[in-house]
A and B are shown apart, each in its own frame.
Chain A
Amino acid sequence: MTVRAATYRTGLVFFPAFDWAITPDHPEREERLLYTRDQIREEGLFDIPGVVEYRPRPATELDVKRAHICAGPLSAVAGSPHLIAAGGAIVAGEKVWSHEVDRAFALLRPPGHHAMRIVHGARGFCTINNEAVLIEYLRKKAGGKLKVAVVDTDAHHADGTQDIYYNDPDVLHISIHQDGRTLFPGSGHLTELGGPGAFAYTLNLPLPPGSGDSELLFAIQELVLPVLQDFQPDIVINGAGQDNHYSDPLTNMNVTAQGYARLTELLSPDIVVLEGGYSIEGALPYVNVGIILALAGLDYTGVQEPDRMHVERRSSSESSVSSTVRKNVEELRLIWEKKDELDLGRIFGGGDFFHRKRRIYYDTDNIVEFQEESIRLCSECSGYRKVFSVAQSLYIGGKQTRLAAVIIPWHACATCRNEAEQEYDRLSKSQFDYICLQDVEEDRYLCK
């Protein structure tokens, strides 16, 4: 028996982590990918010529440090499962990078897109940002010359990935999600467009509750694809969270397996990374089969959830997309097109630094963090950053952690670099629990 061969050689890093859970009754739990494994096996997808399964390996501490600054030792916040998931994303990237396969899917858990640059614990079921670790790994391999587009289609705003690439003009971050006013983490508004060194390289499209295939595909076709066409990334990564499925218990969206497969076909990503998705019986098995077939370039039109088999399939139509969504898409398109003409001074102020304050809540670990960040407004590079972070555990008797960090970005200019080093020296003399320097280009990670 031969199965029709895949048009695109597709690598699958399938890691269901069957022996790990956040807690015994948490949705992010051992059997989350169990039925998905059964469906993929029964469909015989691993036997398709051109579909290759790979084994993950644990990411190293260095791999993680390129993306994150941890308050304390890595082992305090992240364990083997997190490292293996991040390492699995790296393996997927490696195989594409070396042309062993054309595309790869890191179908694994635990997810990562809610993990921000500074990590005090787990939030939104995430501890290490798998996509960021993957991107930094590839960027190192490319000697810093790499343009990446991340398109996160999970129902939740990818606030972690957005944070890490907030001021990075080489990484375009687009997140399409259920409106933050109706769902965790509450952010991802149209107005979040990135920092002074990368304005408009962060794009957020909130969708109203009830949005489904029509809205998602409209967003891909009318916003994402034209922007990607303009940005010309070397690598496109899709954060393919599947909690936007109509059967997901935690959200209110209406995407179907067919819709997701079509999205994958249109977007044509190089690497897909699983994020959320908790309808483990009714959605994940079918959506993932659809994504794998679409990635491989095979016919996915036969994929359908059992509970929709007797329902007449309504093709997603453009006409049903609401005017709000259309308007928002248009606005974002305009901002992108006009980004180089905008007067950043009006948005970020005229001083030497741009300051912002944020409150970040870690739901999984019940920690609240206050961040004050300063970004140097630089015409030569994206500008170095200084962050003060105070995290308070909200449990009774919970501890407080005070952290200061200086971040030297890729391609930092000499001035920013020098100033950053001086700032770090100056801060080293003050009272913090952790004083950190992150210099990805030179691979220097200091934490006192």
Chain B
Amino acid sequence: MGLAMSSYLIGIDVGGTNTNAVLLEDSRVLETAVVPTRHDDLLASTVGALNAIVSHLPRDRFSEAELHLSTTLATNAIVEGKGDPAAVIVSLGPGLKIEDMEFPFPVFPIPGYIDHRGREVAPVDFDSLRSVLKEIKSLGVTRIAVAGKFSPRNPSQELAIEEFVQTEYPEFVPITLGHRLTGRLNLPRRITTAYLNAKVTGVQLAFASAVKQLIQELGLHSRVFVLKADGGTMDLHESLVRPVETILSGPAASTMGAIALASLTEGNSVVVDIGGTTTDISVLVDGRPVYEKDGAGIAGFKTIVPALYSRSFGLGGDSRVWMDGTEIRIGPHRAGPPAALGGTNVTPTDAAVFLGGAAIGDKDLSIKAITKLSEEWGFTPLELANEIVEAFCEQAAESIEAVYNYLTQLPAYTVEEILRQEDLRPKKIIGMGGPARFFIPLIARRLGVDYEITPYCECANAVGAAAACPTASVTLRADTALGKVVVPELDYVSDISHPLLFDVNRAREIAIDKVVDLAGRRQILARKEDVEIVEEEIYNVVRDFHTVGRIISLKAQISPRTRKIQS
């Protein structure tokens, strides 16, 4: 099931401040390393961390080690507006106007329209396409994406456009096609995702070849995987086709790290990662992570990239402590480093040090800083330290409440779901991060739940990256009234030869086969048993009061999961 051939796994997570690396042997952590992140040169950060770790590998097992990378490469490129000049060709037909979608990047609409059943209502206008391509070329665009309304129901128009471009403008190859990125509906998000994918392709290509070279130089014959926003991994080669899926791998690494390291993840828990500037919260229901409902959001872009649900709150060990009227508030701005480490401001970390709950830096510096502030604000030093801790825990608890309020209010479309009122409430906090050891127990007590602090918490992200596994997923839609089966991610369209006999079991069979096949092509070991059906819908198609067919929609995947790591 996608298990590494090697028992050695190297996980590297490039974070905002530090790059962490771990070396795993099967399910044990052998070594950890940390180097500061060079923001302008992520590759150098990766190299530095890799070098630090690789020195601990037994020489004779070198070549077997598998490398898992979680980098902010694509994220940064998008956030900073870097990457190649890209444009999207869109066939959207009637409906919401493209001007109202207000894309902050070039989009070129052309005639062509497919309806919700996947029937072609208006064909692609190739003359229009030709003149649009000319314009795109003249603007200096080097990467193209194509997205059409309802293309996941019928990819033929996007494929026809791809073929046309390959013939007349081969320099634009490879082209990002909307239906290959996802089988989900939401054209504006698909357009955005396709654009971002095209835009960062070049950046990913450069990074990948640099990594390959580096590995060769080090004498490794490692297979390299990249962590995705949904907590799964993909081969470095795959990431050249769908680089957009590597955004937001940081929060994913964090959550997967928690799942890998926590001793008991069954039932409902909340993962709370307290960092220097922020506290990141993600949710496990029945031991499985909750995903973003519509897709990841990044730098104001709404994408359709599957992502673990994670919310960041401006509350961390180095956050600003201030008075809001008569109340003490923490953050969201950063005021660190803590006084204990030579900083000029009192931070929550200092309160913890003062109270003897954390051994960081020089305790006397914390005491001095807190005493000075307490005089200004009219507290005793002890009172102030306790108030700061109290405020921190209260805000953390409020943030957790906010997350659960959001999740329980999500729309539901069946009577059963409305009545069921699923209980998502956590029984336990899984805490991570530097300040975790002190604050998590207090937050847990406040919420009346158990808690666990993950071991190796300083580099849990890197463990998460190392322990993550490759995934593969497809969506299948069968319309027996129209006699068609479509698996858009694979460009697969087939006729249904015996519509009356085509039922949900047959649909599941096909979908599972396709996933196993896809995994195989990506050189991931997978069996049918490893594939889950995670979404399924069956509806009748009725004409004049007779049922003339069925629509079966389902999503099949090898789900993101982690190996369990022993502490």
User: Which of A's residues lie within 8 Å of B, judged by CB?
Assistant: 1-4, 14-20, 24-25, 27, 29-31, 34-35, 37-39, 41-47, 53-58, 80-81, 84, 249, 281, 285, 289, 293, 298-299, 301-304, 306, 309-310
Chain A residues near B300 (CB-CB < 8 A): 1-2
Given contacts A2-B102, A42-B116, A43-B187, contact A18 B413 (CB under 8 A): yes
Chain A residues near B250 (CB-CB < 8 A): none
The 8 closest A-B pairs by CB, nearest first: A44-B188, A304-B94, A31-B539, A1-B192, A41-B185, A306-B121, A19-B414, A42-B185
**Residue contact B419 to A58, C-beta cutoff 8 Å:** yes
Q: Which of A19, A38, A55, A310 is in CB contact (< 8 Å) with B116?
A: A38
In the complex, the chain B residue whose C-beta lies closest to that of A42 is: B185
Closest CB in chain B relative to A46 CB, distance in Å: 8
Q: Which of B94, B185, B188, B409 is in CB contact (< 8 Å) with A1?
A: B188
- Which residues of chain B from 365 to 424 have a CB within 8 Å of any chain A CB? 409-416, 418-419
| C-alpha gap A293/B97 in the complex (Å) | 10
Q: Which of B115, B121, B186, B547 is in CB contact (< 8 Å) with A44?
A: B186
Q: Which of A53, A55, A249, A302 is in CB contact (< 8 Å) with B96?
A: A302
A-B contact pairs, 22 of them (CB 8 A): A1-B101, A1-B189, A3-B96, A4-B101, A15-B418, A25-B542, A25-B546, A29-B540, A31-B540, A35-B117, A38-B185, A39-B95, A43-B95, A47-B189, A47-B302, A55-B409, A55-B410, A289-B96, A298-B100, A303-B96, A304-B95, A309-B93
Chain A residues near B189 (CB-CB < 8 A): 1, 44, 47
Q: A4-B101, A309-B121 are in contact. List 11 more A-B contacts (CB 8 A).
A: A19-B415, A31-B540, A34-B539, A37-B413, A42-B150, A42-B187, A44-B187, A47-B188, A299-B97, A306-B113, A306-B115
Given contacts A1-B101, A55-B409, contact A302 B94 (CB under 8 A): yes
Chain B residues near A301 (CB-CB < 8 A): 97
- Which residues of chain B from 60 to 90 have a CB within 8 Å of any chain A CB? none
Category for how many chain B residues contact A: 35 or more
Chain A residues near B104 (CB-CB < 8 A): 1-2
Chain A residues near B418 (CB-CB < 8 A): 15, 55-58, 80, 84
Chain A residues near B97 (CB-CB < 8 A): 299, 301-302
Interchain pairs with CB closer than 8 A, number: 140
**Residue contact B96 to A44, C-beta cutoff 8 Å:** yes
**Residue contact B413 to A54, C-beta cutoff 8 Å:** no
**Residue contact B411 to A14, C-beta cutoff 8 Å:** yes
Given contacts A4-B100, A47-B189, contact A20 B95 (CB under 8 A): no
| C-alpha gap A24/B410 in the complex (Å) | 28
Chain B residues near A289 (CB-CB < 8 A): 95-96
In the complex, the chain A residue whose C-beta lies closest to that of B188 is: A44
Check B432 for interface membership: any CB of A closer than 8 A: no
**Residue contact A29 to B116, C-beta cutoff 8 Å:** no
Closest CB in chain A relative to B311 CB, distance in Å: 18
Chain B residues near A15 (CB-CB < 8 A): 413, 418
In the complex, the chain A residue whose C-beta lies closest to that of B149 is: A42
Given contacts A14-B411, A302-B97, A306-B121, contact A19 B185 (CB under 8 A): no
Chain A residues near B416 (CB-CB < 8 A): 19
| C-alpha gap A16/B416 in the complex (Å) | 12
In the complex, the chain A residue whose C-beta lies closest to that of B300 is: A2
Closest CB in chain A relative to B448 CB, distance in Å: 26
Chain B residues near A17 (CB-CB < 8 A): 413-415
In the complex, the chain A residue whose C-beta lies closest to that of B101 is: A3
**Residue contact A39 to B116, C-beta cutoff 8 Å:** yes
In the complex, the chain A residue whose C-beta lies closest to that of B303 is: A1
Chain A residues near B117 (CB-CB < 8 A): 35, 281
In the complex, the chain B residue whose C-beta lies closest to that of A20 is: B415
Check B294 for interface membership: any CB of A closer than 8 A: yes
Chain A residues near B3 (CB-CB < 8 A): none
| C-alpha gap A310/B96 in the complex (Å) | 18
| C-alpha gap A299/B150 in the complex (Å) | 21
Check B103 for interface membership: any CB of A closer than 8 A: yes
**Residue contact A1 to B301, C-beta cutoff 8 Å:** yes
In the complex, the chain A residue whose C-beta lies closest to that of B408 is: A55
Chain A residues near B547 (CB-CB < 8 A): 25
| C-alpha gap A30/B547 in the complex (Å) | 13
| C-alpha gap A285/B117 in the complex (Å) | 12
**Residue contact A1 to B103, C-beta cutoff 8 Å:** yes
In the complex, the chain B residue whose C-beta lies closest to that of A34 is: B539
| C-alpha gap A299/B301 in the complex (Å) | 22
Q: Which of A1, A27, A37, A42 is in CB contact (< 8 Å) with B302?
A: A1
Check B127 for interface membership: any CB of A closer than 8 A: no
Closest CB in chain A relative to B292 CB, distance in Å: 13
Counting chain A CB atoms within 10 Å of each CB, the highest count among B104, B116, B122, B547 belongs to: B116
| C-alpha gap A1/B187 in the complex (Å) | 12
Chain A residues near B185 (CB-CB < 8 A): 38, 41-42
Chain B residues near A302 (CB-CB < 8 A): 94-97
Chain B residues near A39 (CB-CB < 8 A): 95, 116
Closest CB in chain A relative to B20 CB, distance in Å: 33
Q: Which of B100, B113, B301, B542 is in CB contact (< 8 Å) with A29?
A: B542
Q: Which of A1, A46, A84, A249 is in CB contact (< 8 Å) with B544?
A: A249
Q: Mark B283-299, 1 if CB is under 8 A from A, else 0.
A: 00000000000100000
In the complex, the chain B residue whose C-beta lies closest to that of A40 is: B185
| C-alpha gap A201/B541 in the complex (Å) | 42
